[in-house]
Structure 1
Amino acid sequence: MNYLQKELYELVRGGDTILNFFQNVSLDGMWYWDLENPENEWMSESFWTTLGYDPAEMPHKMSAWKDIVNKEDLARVEKAIHKHLSDPYTRFNEIIRYKHKAGHTVWIRCVGMAIRDEEGKPVRMLGTHTDITKEIRKERFLEKCNAAANIGYWELDVENHELHWSNTTKKIHEVEQDYIPDLNTAIQFYEKGNFRKNITEAIDKLCNNGTSYDLELQLKTAKGRVIWVRTIGHAELFNGSCVRLYGSIQDIDEQKRSQIELQESNNRFEMLVENIPGATYQYIVTSNGKEKVFELEYMSSYIYKITGYTADEYSDNDKVNVKKLIHRDDVDEVISVVYSAIERQESWQIDYRIHHKDGSIKWVYEKGNVFSDSKKQNKRRLIGVLFDRTSEVESKIKRAEEKNLLRTIIDNVPVNIYLKDKHRRKILANPAEVKYSGYEKEEDVIGKTDEELYDGKIAKNYLPEDLKVLNEGVSLRELENDMGNGRWALVSKIPLKNEDGKVNAIVGITVDITERKVNEIKLKKSEEQFRKTFEYSANGMAIISMAGKYIQVNKAYEEILGYSNDELKNMNFRDISHPDDLKENDPLIEELVEGQRDYYIMDKRYIHKNGSYVWAHLAASLIKDEIGGKPYFISQITDITREKKAQQELNETLEKLKSILDASSRVAIISTDLNGLITSFNKGAENLLGYSAKEIVGKKTPLKFHLNEELHQRKIELFKNESVDVNGFEILKQFASKKKYITKEWIFVRKNGSRFPVQLTITEVKGAKGQLNGYLGIASDITELKRRENELEHLLEINKDQNERLLNFAHIVSHNLKGHAGNYSMIMELLKAEENPEEIKQFIDMLLTATENLNETVNNLNDIVETNVKTGEAKKQVNIKETLDMALGNLNAIANEAGAKVHFNVTEQEVVNAVPAYVDSIFHNFISNAIKYRSPVRKPVIHVSTDETEKYKVISFKDNGLGIDLNKAGNKLFEMFQTFHGNSDARGVGLFITKNQIESMGGHIEVESEVNKGTEFRVFFPK
C-alpha cells in the first residue's frame, strides 16, 4: 500500500472532516497530493478507469495526469491551485478536460481541499473527480437549443471578477463575438429607471444572500434597439460566501410585445365591457330532463349599478334570485322568450321591468345569443347584455309629455308660431297663425309658401327675410312689419340647423303689435298730461338722475324746500337730506335699481334753505326712459312738519306713560290688540311672570299665562253652558265687554311653571272716536293675601273644631257622670235603709265597684281632654321603626302571653310628620287591640307595613283576629264607648281617641274587616 494511501486512511479514521468531505461530493475518482514532494501524488483506481486506463499501469506521479490534460485547462488549474493554497477561503473547484485513452474528451469536475499543519502551512491536498461529460454534452445540446430559442447563458467568477457570456447572450446584446463583458457594462445595457434599478437590486440580493431572481426587463442593445428580455440569476456559495453567479438571458421581445398587446387588447376589451352602459353576461345552460340549469360564468359589474345589489349579494342566491328580480307581470314572457331562443339556438331581444334593491322599478332591454357546444349536445352558452333603459323610457314618456305640452303651449299662446322648410313651405302652424293667415285649419296652410298664402306686399316683405335666415344662418328678431290695413306685426325668424350645421328650417314668431302702436300714440298724449300734472301739482315733484342730481323740479317742490329751480338743479338730493335718514333711504334706492321693488315710501327730513328741518312724506319710483334708455327717479314729497311735531309731542306723552307703567314693578300691566296679541308688557309683568317683553310682545297672547281648566270653568260661569262656542281669548274678552270692567281672582302660570294667584282686571281700550282698539289687563300678585286668608280660615276651622269637641265633651261628661251619680244615690239610699250587716257589706262592695267605674270614666275623660289640648302641638319628624319597636316593647308581656307574632315591614329610615305623643298612642292602641281581640282558634299574627300616595304617608296595621262586621258596626266604629266583642275589659274609648288624634293632625283612617278573618286599619298621615 502506498504511504499516501495509508496516510489518507489514517486521516479518515482520525476524524469526521474527511468523511464529511467524501459524503458531500459524488466521486468518480480521488487524489491525494504531497505538496512537500510535489511529484508524488496518489490517484484512485476509479479515476484511471473513468479515463480508460489500467490503474496498475499508471504511476502515482503528477506527470501521469499532466500528459493527458487539456493544455489551456492545465494553466488555469495550476493558477487555481496556487490561489487555493495561498488563501484557505478560496475554493478549488474546476472543470478540466482530459483526453480519454480512446481519444475523445472527458470533462471532469475536480474539487480539492488543502491539508494544513499546525502552523497553517499546506502540506497535502485531497481531491475528488466527478465525470460530468454527460452533463457538459447536455449543456452544449441545451445551449444549441437555447440559441435556437434565443436563450443565452452567462457566468460570473466573483473571486476573479470575470464575466462570461455565451454566444447567444452576445447575440441578444448585439455585440461582436469577441466582446469581453464586465459586470458594470452588462448592467448599463438595461434601460434606465426601474429596469436598471430592478436588475441592480436583484444582483445585490443574489451576491449578499443567494436569493435567485427571474425578471422580465427592457435593455437597449449595442445597436440601440430596445428589447424585452427574461433574465434568470443563481448564486453558488462556498463557506457562506458567493463565489459564482450564473444564469440565463432570453430574448422575449416578440412574445412580450405580443403579450403586452394581448393584455392591452384584453384590457381594452374588459374596459369596453365594463364601460358599456349595460351588464354583459355569459351563462352555461345544461338540460337536465325538462329542467334547464343556468350556471353563471361571467357578469360585468354594471349589473350591480342596474340592480343596486353588491357583488356578494348578487352571488348569493338566497339574497338575489334572478327570477324574483324580474317584475311579476313580465317574468313569464322573459322565460318564454329565452327558453325559445335556447331551443332554436337563435338570438333574442326583449324589454321588461326589474325590481331595484331600493324598491323602485327599472326598465331594461336585454339582447342575447345562444351558442352550441360542439362536444356536448345538451350544453348551450348564453352571451348577452342588459341595458338600463329606465331613463330612456322615462325620457321617452317625458319627451312625449313635453312634446304634448309644447304643442299645447304653441297652440294656445296668443302669438303666431310657424315652421318653414328650406323651400319656405310651412310645415307647422299654430291656430293663431292659421287664423292670422285667413284660414280655419292647419291643413289648409301646410305645404304652402307665403306667395300662396298672402297678398303680394306681405310675401314680398317676407322673402328677403327668409332668404337671409336660410342662406346666412342669422336670426332676425323683433322686426316691425307694416301688414297693411292699419295692422302692425313684430316678426322674429330663427334658423334651425341640422347635425352638419346647415340651416334646414325657419322658426317664425309673429306678434300683432297693432294695439302697442295705438298705445304709443296714447303714451305721447299721456306724457303731455304728465308734464302738466308735474308742473301744477300741489305736491312737490322732482325728476332725479341715477346719480342723485336734480333734473327737473316743480313749483311746489321749490316752495317746500325754499330753493329756486336753478339752485336745485345744481344740487344733489343728498346735499339737503338729513344724514341719519340717508342710512334708511340709500338701501331702498338700491332695491329700486335692482328691481326688488317698484317704489318706496318713507318719512324723511330735508334741510330747508333757511337751515331748519322740513319733515316730508316721500314717495319715489324708478322710471326707464323708453327713448334714451336712461332710467331716472320720480320723487314726490308732502310737507308733514306739523304732523311730525304733533307726533313727537304724543310720543313724549306715551313715553311718560310707559315710565309710569314700568315703575309698577309688582303689578303686571299687559295690553293686547283685538285678536289678543300682546302689544305691551311692563316691568311688573316681567317680574311676576319671568318672561322678558322681547319674548312676549308681538308673539304671544295672555293665554300663555292662564290655565285651560280655569278658562273653561269661567266660561261655564259666564254662559251657564259648556257647549257655547266661545274659547281661548274670546272668554277673556267677555269679562271686558260685560261691564266697564270686572275684577276677579285668577291663577297665573310663570315661565318656570310655578303658579300663583292674582287679582285681574280686564277692560276695553278705545280710541278717540270710541272705536275699540284692544284690551288692557292689570294683575296684582295676591299670594301673601291668600296665605293670610288661608291662615285665618285655618284658625276659624280649629276654633270651630274645638267648640264642637267641647260641646261633645260636655255631652259625654253629662251623660257618663249622670249615670254614676244616679248609681251612687241609689246605693246610698239603700244603704241608709238597710240594717242587716250582710246586706250592708254587699252594698259597700257595690259602692267600691261604682267608685272604680267612676275613676275609670274620669281617666277616660282626661285622655279625651289631653287629645283636645294637644291639637295645636307642633309636628316633628318621627321615626316609624323606632316608635313601633318601643310600642311593641311596652306590650311584650301580653304579646308573649298570647303567643303573638308581630312583623314590621318598615325600613330604618322611614319617618312620618306628626305629633310624637300621638304616634306613640296610635301605634300602641292598634297593636294592643290586635292582641286583645285575637281569634280563640289561632295564634295572633300582626303585620305592620308602609306605603305612600302623592299627599300621604300610609301605615297599615293588619291582623288575623276576630274581625268586625262593618255592616252592623261601621257607622259606630269610632264613636265613644262603643264595643263589639263583649270583652270584659273593653271600654270603647281607644278607637275614639285614636281617630281624634289622627284627624287633629290632618289625617284620616280607613278600615277593612271580615268576621273571623281579621282587620286592617290604614292610617293616612299628611306629608
Structure 2
Amino acid sequence: MINIPVPVNEKERLKALDDYEILDTLSENEFDRITELASIICDVPISLVSLVDEKRQWFKSVLGLDVRETSRDISFCRYAIMNSNLMEINDATKDLRFKANTLVTGAPDIRFYAGYPLIDPNGHALGTLCVIDREPRLLNAKQKRAMQLLAEEVIVLIVERRQKQQLQSFEKIFNLSNDLVFVGGEDGFFKKVNPAFKRVLGWEEDHLLHTSTFEFIHPDDIESTVTQLEKLSKGEPTVNFLQRFKSITGEYRTIQWTSTPEASTGNIFGIGRDVTEKIKLEKVLARTSEMLERTNTVARVGGWEFDLQKQTLYWTPVTKEIHGVPADFTPNLVDAIDFYKIGESRDKMAEAINRAVTNGIPWSLELQIANAKGKDLWVRALGNVEFTNGVCKRLYGTFQDIDDYKRTELALMRAVTTQKKLNEELKVQASLVQKQDKTIQDIQEFKFLADSIPEIIWTSNPDGSTDYYNRYWFDYTGLTLEETKAFGWPTVLHLDDIEKDGNDWRHCLATGTPYESEVRFRRKSDGVYRWHLSRALPMKNDKGEVVKWFGSCTDIDEYKRALNLENKISQFEDFNRIIAHNLRGPAGSIGMLLDMIAGEDDTAEKENLLTMLKTSSLTLNETLNELMKVLEVRNNKNMTYDLCYLPEMVNVTDAMLKGQIAAKKATITTALQVSNMKFPKMYLESIFYNMVSNSLKYSKPDAAPQINIASKIVDGRVVLVFSDNGLGIDLSRHGQNMFKLNSVFHKGYDSKGVGLFMTKTQIETFGGKITVESEPNVGTTFTIVF
C-alpha cells in the first residue's frame, strides 16, 4: 500500500491557503496568461495553477482540461508540494506511485507531468504550477528554469492579490469608521485622516493635513502627548492615552487615542474615539456617588446586602463604623445577628429575617445593638427581599444610627408621664384649696408637697400678683423672696418671651381662662436659658369669680430639642429618599442606553442612542441640581408657589425617563384642558416623575405601556389624572396600605415603597388630595385634586 504524503506543516499550510481567500474564486487574466505561457514554453497541451486543499486540488487557472478540481487522493501535485524543487514524471505508466491512477488509466491519459511548488514568503507550499502531456517526455534546462520563474510569479500574484483585498477592506473601514483614524508623520503633521474627523470635530481634511497637530491639542495636554510619542520612538509597540482635541467650534473634545509606529516608514498609525460624553457621565456618576456617600455619612445611614446563594454578607463603611468594627472586617449573618442585644431586639431581628426569606415581607425596626466597642446603641434596621422564580436570592437594606434621637424620645415619654402625674396632683390640690373649710394643716401639706416636686410651683391672687413660690423656684433662679417680689419674672425671663408671655397672662386674668405659655427661664448655675411650659388653673367661687391661681412651670427643654431633632431627621430622611428615588430613573435610563449601544451594530441607530444617552446624562445632572435646591427649600419654611406649565412638566418627565420609555416602547398621550397651575414646581416635577415611572416599572411584560395624562377644572380646583394599562393593584388587599411608606405591591421589582408616600405627602402638604382606582391586569388611575 502506498502512503499518502502530507507535509509536516500541513495544519499551518492549510490555514495559510485559507487566509489568502483564493479558493473557489473566478478566473483572472493574470493567472491564465501564466498557464498559457507555461504551455507554450514547455510545448504541452495541459497547464494548471493547482492549489492543494485538505481533500481536493482546485485549479485557479486551467488550460487543456474542462474540470476545475479533482480529489486530492488522485492528484500528482500532492507529491510535488512535498519538496521545494521541480517534480518531473517522464512516464506515469512506469511509476509505481501513478501507474494505477485513474488519471493515467483513463482520461485525460496522463503520461508526462512536471510540477513546481508554489511556496509563499512564509514557506508554505500552497500548490503547484504544473504542465501535463499525454506522451512521455522530459523538459530541458531552459524549460525547467522557466517553470521556476513562472511559479515564483504565481506566488507574487497570490500575495499581491491578498494585499489588494486587505487594502480595500482597510479603505472601507477607514472611510466608514465612526472612530478617528489617521496616519501621521514624525514632523507632527497628519498625512491622512478619515471622514470621521469632519463628522466629530468639524474640520475639513485639507485644514487638518496642513496644520500641525499641536495646534489642535489643549495646551495642558501637550506635555503628556509628547511623552507618549517619545515612548513610541523608544520602541514601545503601542500607546494609549487621553487627549483634549479642539473642534471647529472651539470646544475641546476628549479623545482616547491608541497609536502604533511603523518602523520602515517612520509613520504613526492611530485610532481615536470621542469619549467626551462618557467622561462627563463618569464625572456626574462620581459626583452622585460621592454626594450619596456624604449624605449617608452625615445621616449615619449605612447599607448592607446578603447573598443567600453565596451566603456572603456585605456592609458599607458607615455600617461597619456603627458596629464599631475595622474597615477590613468581614461580616457574616450569624455575627450580624449576635450584635443585637439578647432578648427582644435579637428575637425581633431573627423573626424578621425568617419572614422575609419565607414570605417576602420587608421590615423596618428600631432595635438595640451592643457594638464591638461595648457601646449600646439604638439603630433603625430596614430590610427588603428579592425573589427570582419564587426563590429568595437576596436581602438588602439600610442601617441607621438613631441613638441620640431614640434616647431623647424615651426621655420625652418619661417627662410626659411625670407631667401627667403632676397635673393630676395639682388638680387634687386645687380641689382641696377650693373647699371652704380648708385648714392651716391643708396649706402646710400643700406647701410641703410643692417643695418636694422638682418643678416650679406658684400661686397668684385674682389680680395676678404672685403670693407663693415653692423652693425649686429659688433654687433654679437664684432669686430671694424679696428680689422676686420686687422684680418678678422679667428678671429671669428671656427678652424675646417677655412681651408675648405678659400678653398671654393678662388675657387669662381678664377672661378667667386657664393660662398656658412656653417660655425660657435663665438657670442660675450656668446662665443657660431653658424652655419651660408655664401653666395655671383658676380656682373660682360659686359665683364663677376667680379667687386664686395655681400654677406650675415644667422644664421641657429636652422635649423641645427632641421635637426639633425629630423634625430635622424626618426632613433629612425624606430628602435622602427623594435623592435615591429620583436618581434611579435617569441612572437606570443611562444603564439601559449603554447596554443598547453595546449591542447595536447599526451606525445610525447607535448615533441616535448616543444622542439619547447625552440627553439622559444632562437630565441626570439637572436632577442633581434640582435636588440640591430641594435641600434649600427644606430650610425655607415659607415655600412659594410657582406658575407651572403642564406641557413642560410632561416634557421634563419624558426626558428624565427617555431610556425606560425607549426600552419598553411606551406611549405617553395628554389631554390637558388646563395648561397652567400654581404649585411648588419642584414638588410638581416630582409628582409627574413618580406617576410616570411607576406606570413604566409596573407595565405588563407582553404589552407596550400606554400612559395618559389629563388635566381639568372641577369645582374651581385643578385636577390631574394619570392612567395606564399596566399590571394594576388589588385594592381589596392593598387599599389600606396604598400610600404608606415602604409598601410594595408587586414582587420581583426593584421597589422601595417610597414614591407614592412622597407624592401623597407633597400633595397633602399644600391642601390637596390623591385617590386611586385600579384593577389587576387592566390598569391604574390616580386622581389628584389640588
> Do both proteins adopt the same fold according to a TM-score greater than 0.5, normalized to the shorter chain?
no
Greater relative contact order (Cα < 8 A, sep 6+): 2
TM-score (norm: length of structure 2): 0.28
TM-score (norm: length of structure 1): 0.23
